Amino acid sequence: MSNQKFTILDGGMGTMLQAAGLAPGEHPEVFGYEHPDVVRDVHKKYIDAGSRVIYANTFGGNPRKLEGCPIDTEIAVSTAVSTAREAAKQGEEMYHEPVAVALDVGPIGELLEPLGTVSFEDAYESYKETMIAGAGAGADLVVIETFTDLLDAKAAALAALENTDLPVWVTMTFEQNGRTFTGTSIAAFALTMEALGVKAVGINCSLGPNEILPLARELSEWTNLPIVIKPNAGLPDPETGEYRLGAEDFAEQMMQYKGLPLIAMGGCCGTNPDYIRALYAQMQQNDIARIPLTGSGAYQFDGTGLFTEPRTGARRGICSSTNVAEYGGVRVIGERLNPTGKKKFQQALLDHDMDYICKIALEEEEAGADILDVNVGVPGADEKTLMVEVVKALQGVISVPLQIDSAEADVVEAALRVYAGRAIVNSVNADDERLDAFLPVLKKYGAATVGLCLDEDGIPETAEGRIEKAKYITKRVTEYGIPKSDILIDCLTLTVSAQQNQAIETLKALRAVHEMGLHACLGVSNISFGLPARSHITENFLIQAMQCGLDFPIINPNVLALMDAVASFKVLSMEDVNCESYIARFANRNEKTIVQQGTGTAESQASNAEMNIEEAVLKGLKNETRALAEKLLETHTEEEVINKELIPALDHVGELYEKQVIFLPQLISSANAATAAFDMIKERIHAKDDGENVSSGTIVICTVKGDIHDIGKNIVKVILENYGYRMIDLGRDVPPEKVVEAAVTHKAGLVGLSALMTTTLPAMEETIEALHREVPEVKIMVGGAVLTPEFAQKMGADYYCVDARASVAVAKEVFGGA
Amino acid sequence: MNNYHQNEDAGKFSWEEKEIDSIRLTMDDRSEILRYVGYSGQPLTDEFESQLQICMEKVNAVAQPRLIATLFQCEPVVVGDVIVEYKWPESLNFLTGEDIHTHLKECREVLLFGATIGASIDRAIRVEEMREPVHALLMDACGSTLIESVCDHFEAILRRRYRDGEEHWHLTTRFSPGYGDLPLEIQNHYADVIEARRIGLTVTPEHIMIPRKSVTAIIGIADHEIGEKHRSCDSCNMNAHCRFRKHGVLCGE
């Protein structure tokens, strides 16, 4: 006798409403408001067929979707929930069994930043309205469904969890490759949602039962939560456009889910009451009991009663929306996103230069870091605002998960909130004050945490002292309901040149922590501070630490020797099965000619002795241009190299471009090559006089509000940078007030605005007006495919640039020189 | 033509999904990519050729072409025994302006489609902007070329199907929101009508499609040849690698 039991959900609503007269493109919620009887009838048919949870007609019931409709969110949602409730009540009277009404929440239908233009906060506010209306109208649970973007789903889940007391289910829509349209993986979805505290996760839409089955199996590996499945009636038939599966076939395929930890199943697009009836019949034939979700009154669900025991043993780890760093084995945490002792990084933070920060992050990721630590603490900036800005920027380009590094609970909370995934927090320690502030945040977002073996009195000098702190942290964290597996104890590295006896204590403590079944993390590099040839000590300590159980080393992944040590360790520890990763890593490596990335070498200088800097720029050769500039600096000043070599070279390239001797990619390659030399020279000047006065002038640049085309803007930026201008790039979709603010803050002499759509030209005009009004002294240049010189003038721009090259002439005119 | 689903006046138009999903850039697309980056016959270095190759491969690796279409039936208005015009279903009334009406004047069916090559490419280009701006530029051009290719292949499939159908019907060229006086502002409703969310295609409040490499377009279907005769293949710069002829049709057929 099977002890399995599911509840039965309903089937498709859209298909049913279309049959009843809903026109293509018409809002089902508006239709439902005008024809509640039709919707009630659909619900009733599903209940008659066997559904015991019905989804209210609220899928698009949010303020963004209903913009311009005759009804608002409150009316749309409350009408739909009441309609469903009426049907449920009739059903309960007829079948003497509870029927639950779900508030059905679909995505707002616009992509979130950075792919789209909607901010996480705006998405949240939109969902919040729906949730409040739905809970107010008496829904029994919230089902967030058909999402394809993890961050979007997180905004909806938080809106539900924070504004209602209802249980929350989240089901996302995957492609056959196990990813959503935006790349979210099944594991990342499961980890992130379980961390937030939803009651069930699942998969709906897009595919049929057969196609979803392997995905559901994968999902069940990554979560201990019960699973909800609502497939389509198969895939569309290429001949007829209809869904391929009939009701009987659908129901039969659904029986393959027997044995999986399901709480509920139903149908999505293409299914109708016949499918649900067939499903119920199949369940009866297969000894699967149908259970209601509501007892008396309010719906209660704690997962028990559905399975003989609550499930355990799901795979665990931390994740971004696309990548999981699974627990078990060594996972390298990159340490470079940290301003401590790094002037350029500090300046980048103060300038909000996200490109600089993202570039470092990309270097770490490419070098093989599994996780990136993010620290933005810099005097003179608001850490919370900056942390949110950096996390948002990073998750637009970085695939690996993040570790949020801050001593302030509110900074950590703000970061975890907008993070599309499940992060590590760095850090708590045995100080009760810190624990009291951090634990609620860790719990709420389900984050993992680093626990430093110290407290308000400092770092214990002995291993025993540190182990005690580790035990105390573990006690406090687990008492708060956070699993032990989410604690990473940091036994602390002290500098061996100052306190030589401490390395042994750290290793001893590490071994004990490992034996306690805890993860261990450790900032390794500090060990060699103050010593010559640091890398030898660091590498040796890293290896010993891993041997003692360190599984989350925090290191600079761009130091090849350290990553090689990790790769070697993974072979010896059996993590790298069949040495596959090791062999792949070293397959094409010629051990003798490894050149550290980012530094010009004497060799390349010598080999290019024949080439001059202009040729190197023209050919777009980065390393050669830099090396040649370095050589010139032996006999010339920085200013001479810039003004007499690099700028003339760029001018020449520009002329060739104008004459169409070369074309755009070559122009950019050349600009890029020159950048390499400029960066090197800038650093030298910085190092020399601590000054910052290398720039020929400051230019603020952006794509205007509503527009997201930025390739042209980026080209202008690269080119101008090479003429020595300090470029403040505000990105795309930038509101006028932000442009004004940046022009004032950075004392810009010139602002460049880009727009590529006729529909965003009004935003450009508005920005120009605001600038003229607020910062009358600043000059404005505009560019973009839809612009003409006449139109630019009409809008009040000072200059029109036909292409990137033209912006150079404008800058020269505004700032003088060259 | 009855190999599509007719439901009242609108239905999903369908095709073998892998015909669209598997479309990628080929060497034949090179010249079009180069056109997008302003190429006008300059000598190309080996270095550039290999960069272009890398970018095409990167785009091919992350591209996920998807397409969705809805077919509308127009109602013939008969005076005596002559059809004087075809009346649009009400659902198409959001298509405003004279140009689209002129374009579809003699059509019995109207097909609205949306196509995208997915969001991953947007992200890949963003990453490349930070690493290698030239690659970002080339990948952007590759993306534009690929989405055009997807539309061309789809149109060719459509042309072949209608030409080979019992009634040998003919197609208009593609007409997109933003062409002529068909306003871009209809883009949002357009996306709702074709249920663009099913392929991950969204529209911002400013009417921009995201993923960026996406296209919406309208094709009319008539029972006789419409508009100008198709261009001569000899004068076409796609002659050597025409996507239409690969499917055995001509672009103006």
Which of B126, B195, B206 is facing A707, going by the closest CB pair?
A: B206
Q: Please, which residues have CB within 8 angstroms of residue A263's CB and are 6 or more apart in sequence?
A: A6, A7, A200, A226, A227, A228, A306
Number of A–B residue contacts, CB under 8 Å: 164
Over the stretch A665-711, which tens digit does the pLDDT of each residue have? 998 888 888 888 888 887 887 776 554 556 779 999 999 998 888 87
Tens of pLDDT, residue by residue over A36-87, are 999 999 999 999 999 999 999 999 999 999 999 999 999 999 999 999 999 9
For residue A6, which of A44, A55, A57, A51 has the smallest C-alpha distance?
A51
Residue A597 pLDDT greater than 70, yes or no: no
pLDDT at B215 over 50: yes
Smallest Cβ–Cβ distance between A397 and the set B42, B70, B126 belongs to B126
Helix (H) or strand (E) holding A728: strand A726-729
Whether A111 sits inside 8 A of B202 (CB atoms) is yes
Mean pLDDT of chain A: 91
Instruction: Compare all CA atoms of chain B with the CA of A716 and give the residue at the minimum distance.
Output: B133
Q: With H, G, I as helix, E, B as strand and everything else as coil, classify residue A83.
A: helix
Hunting for tokens 């969902």 — which residue is that?
A: A127
Q: Given an 8 Å threshold on Cβ–Cβ distance, is A660 in contact with B194?
A: no
Interchain contact, A715 vs B133, CB within 8 Å: yes
Q: Is a pLDDT exceeding 60 seen at residue A297?
A: no
The encoded tokens of residue A336 equal: 């470079």
Give A59's contacts in chain B (Cβ within 8 Å): none
pLDDT category of residue B228 using cuts at 50, 70 and 90: low
Please report residues of B whose CB lies closer than 8 A to that of A16: none
Nearest CB to B137 within list A18, A664, A709: A664
Contacts of B212 in chain A (CB under 8 A): 708-709
Domains and CATH numbers, chain A: 5-290 (3.20.20.330), 317-593 (3.20.20.20), 602-689 (1.10.1240.10), 698-815 (3.40.50.280)
Q: Kindly determine whether residue B37 and residue A664, on different chains, have CB atoms separated by under 8 Å.
A: yes
Which residues in chain A are contacts of B45 at CB distance < 8 A?
619
Q: How far apart are the C-alpha atoms of A452 and A469, rounded to whole Å?
A: 8
Angle between helices A736-745 and A761-774 (to 10 degrees): 40
- Per-residue confidence band for A292, with pLDDT thresholds at 50, 70 and 90: confident
Length of chain B (residues): 253
In three state form, how does the secondary structure of A484-510 look?
A: HHHEEEECCCCCCCCCCCHHHHHHHHH
Give residue limits of the domains in chain B. 10-246
Higher pLDDT, A590 or A793: A793
Best mean pLDDT range from A265-274, A721-730, A749-758: A265-274
Q: Name the 3-class secondary structure at B218.
A: strand
Q: Do B130 and A107 touch (CB under 8 A)?
A: no
Q: Which residues of B touch A236 (CB under 8 A)?
A: 12, 14, 17
DSSP string, B20-51: HHT----GGGHHHHHHHTT--SPPPPHHHHHH
Q: What is the mean pLDDT of residues B16-39?
A: 91
The ipTM value here is 0.90
Q: Reply yes or no on whether the pLDDT at A190 is more than 60.
A: yes
Closest-approach residue (CA) in chain A for B192 = A25
- Residue A642 pLDDT greater than 60, yes or no: yes
- Considering only CB atoms, which chain A residues are within 8 Å of B132? 672
Pairwise CA distance, residues A223 & A217, whole Å: 10
Q: How far is B63 from chain A (nearest CA, A)?
A: 11
The per-residue pLDDT for A311 is 80
In A62-218, the DSSP E strands lie at: 100-105, 141-147, 168-172, 200-204
Backbone angles phi, psi at A86, to 5 degrees: -60, -45
Residues of A in contact with B122 (CB under 8 A): 115
Nearest to A115 among B42, B119, B140 (CB): B119
Residue from the list A181, A355, A619 with its beta carbon closest to the beta carbon of B130: A355
Output the pLDDT for position A595: 44
Q: Which residues of B touch A13 (CB under 8 A)?
A: none
Q: Where are the alpha helices (DSSP H) in A367-458?
A: 383-397, 409-418, 432-445
Q: Determine the Cα–Cα distance for residues A387 and A610; give it in Å rounded to an integer.
A: 48
Q: For the segment B60-69, what is each residue's pLDDT rounded down to a tens digit?
A: 999 999 999 9
Q: At residue A416, what is the residue type?
A: L
Residue A663 to residue B40, Cβ atoms within 8 A: yes
Annotated binding site of A for Zn(2+): 205, 268-269
pLDDT in tens, A610-625: 788 999 999 888 899 9
DSSP assignment of A282-329 equals HHHHTT-EE--SB-SSSB---SBTTBSS-------EEE-SS-EEESSS
**Of all residues in chain A, what percent carry a pLDDT higher than 70?**
94
| B133 with A718: Cβ contact below 8 A | yes
Whether the pLDDT of residue A312 is over 90: the answer is no
**Both tokens assigned to B33:** 């990519």
Residues of A in contact with B131 (CB under 8 A): 359, 362
Task: Provide the pLDDT confidence category of residue B235 given band limits of 50, 70 and 90.
Answer: confident
Amino acid identity for residue A525 in this structure: S
Pairwise CB contact (< 8 Å): A117 & B39: no
Cβ–Cβ < 8 Å for A370, A341? no
Nearest to B120 among A116, A146, A183 (CB): A183
- Mutate: best of A18, A363, A397, A623, partner B, most B CBs <10 A: A397
Identify all chain B residues contacting A361, using CB atoms and an 8 Å cutoff: none
- Are A422 and A446 spatial neighbours (Cβ–Cβ below 8 Å)? yes
Distance (Å) from the C-alpha of residue B102 to the closest C-alpha of chain A? 23
Q: The tokens 């700028």 sit on which residue? A: A647
Q: According to the model, what pLDDT value does residue A693 have?
A: 55
Q: Which of B127, B194, B200 sits opposite A362 (nearest CB)?
A: B127
Structure confidence by residue, pLDDT tens digits, A144-186: 999 999 999 999 999 999 999 999 999 999 999 999 999 999 9
Chain B closest CA to A25's CA: distance in Å? 4
pLDDT digits (tens, 9 = 90+) for A106-142: 999 999 998 899 999 999 999 999 999 999 999 999 9
- Nearest neighbour of B210 by CB, restricted to A115, A238, A396: A115
- Cβ neighbours of B118 in A, within 8 Å: 181
Task: Indicate which of B129, B182, B190 best probes the interface with A, i.e. most A CBs within 10 Å of its own CB.
Answer: B129
Residues B220/B107, Cβ–Cβ less than 8 Å: yes
Instruction: Answer whether the bond into residue B211 is a cis peptide, omega within 30°.
Output: yes
Tens digit of pLDDT for each residue in A723-748? 888 899 998 889 999 999 999 999 99
Q: Do A110 and B189 touch (CB under 8 A)?
A: no
Q: What is the pLDDT of residues B93-116, one digit of tens each?
A: 999 999 999 999 889 999 999 999
Task: Give me the pLDDT at residue B231, please.
Answer: 64
- Give the pLDDT confidence score for residue A718 in this predicted structure: 82
User: Does B206 contact A358 at a Cβ distance shorter than 8 Å?
Assistant: no
What the block records as the tokens of A495 is 């500098």
Q: For domain B10-246, say whether CATH 3.40.109.40 is its number.
A: yes
pLDDT at A300: 46
Give B80→chain A minimum CA distance, Å.
Answer: 31
Q: With an 8 Å Cβ cutoff, are B5 and A355 in contact? A: no
- Residue A609 has a pLDDT of 55
Alpha-carbon torsion A780, A781, A783, A787, what sign? positive
CA angle centred on A202, ends A236 and A104, rounded to 5°: 80
Identify which of A751, A754, A744 has the alpha carbon closest to the alpha carbon of residue A803. A754
The average pLDDT across A367-379 equals: 96
Name which of B3, B48, B202 is nearest A665 (Cβ-Cβ).
B48
